[in-house]
Structure formats: C-alpha cells, structure tokens
Amino acid sequence: MADDKFPGWHGTTIIGVRKGGRVVVAGDGQVSLGQTVIKGTARKVRRLSPGGRDVVCGFAGSTADAFTLLERLEKKLEAAPGQLARACVELAKDWRTDKYLRNLEAMLIVTDGTELFVLTGAGDVLEPEHGIAAIGSGGNYALAAARALMETDLDAEAIARKAMAIAADICVYTNGNLTVEAIGG
C-alpha cells in the first residue's frame, strides 16, 4: 500500500504524573489502524531494572521502534547507573544523529521516581512543567485533565487514572484499559 493511502497507526495515550514524591506512569491499551481498533489490550508502560535500579517507561508510536529505543536506553542506564538525565541525553543524541535510529517513530516518557522526562526523535529531552508529561493521540486531553486535578487532594495515581478516563471519553484513539506503574515515594 502506498504511503499516501496508508491510513496510519494511531492509538495510545501515556501520562506521567509526579506528586507527593511519587511518579505514576499510566497508558491505555488501544492500537488502531485508521478507523479500526486492532487491539485494545496492548501494554505500553514497562518497568526496566538496569543495574538493579528501577526506571518506568511509557511509549507512544511504533511498538517495534519503541522496544528498540527501550533496549538502547537500558544500555545507556547500565553505562551510567543512577544518572537518568545523562542516559536520556545520550539516547536522544544517538536517536537524532544515527542514520538507523533517526527513522524510528516513537516517543517515550521516562522516570526513575525523581526525574521525569519526555524523549523525542527530534533530539528532545524535556522535563515537563507542573510535574505532568503526556504523549500520544490523547496526550493533550490527559495533560489538561491532570493539570486541573493537580490542585485537588488526589495522589499521583488517582490523578493519572482520572486524567486517562477523561482522555478515553474524548479521544477515539484512547481506551480505558490501563497499565499503571508507580515509582518513588
């Protein structure tokens, strides 16, 4: 099928919420091809333990591309134990400059329970404002909902779950089948 006729893969929302010394990463399970839901139970949030130190990652985009990036991140973390920012910057540099990696289509949210980053193929390592990061088709809906909920007494996990529920109600490429991983606090 020609690229101009290919309907494109859609369908994920990932959010990271930092509050009260704890970070929660939540992701839905939907994968869509055009207007069709291909799978509703995909698991796009993972816990890595390079060198015995936990890191939680969520990804949006191509699954194979994301797994390639997660493997590379794990190697960077093994080379720089306990230095998430350094490992993320090194991965972003490789992602941006390597001829093979440059073509990978995915975004990552990464946290060690203290730091929270969004990594993109454009070479970005972004530390989000307000302790909230969101990516994917419904990312902006989840981000807006979470920002509004930060002023409440809800903890990080409750905020992430409610924000994802709101995104799932609005975005046709997001469902309510969540994978949630917490770290820190």
Catalytic residue IDs: 12
**Residue 59 near residue 69 (C-beta atoms within 8 A):** yes
38 HSE (CA, 13 A, CB side): 11
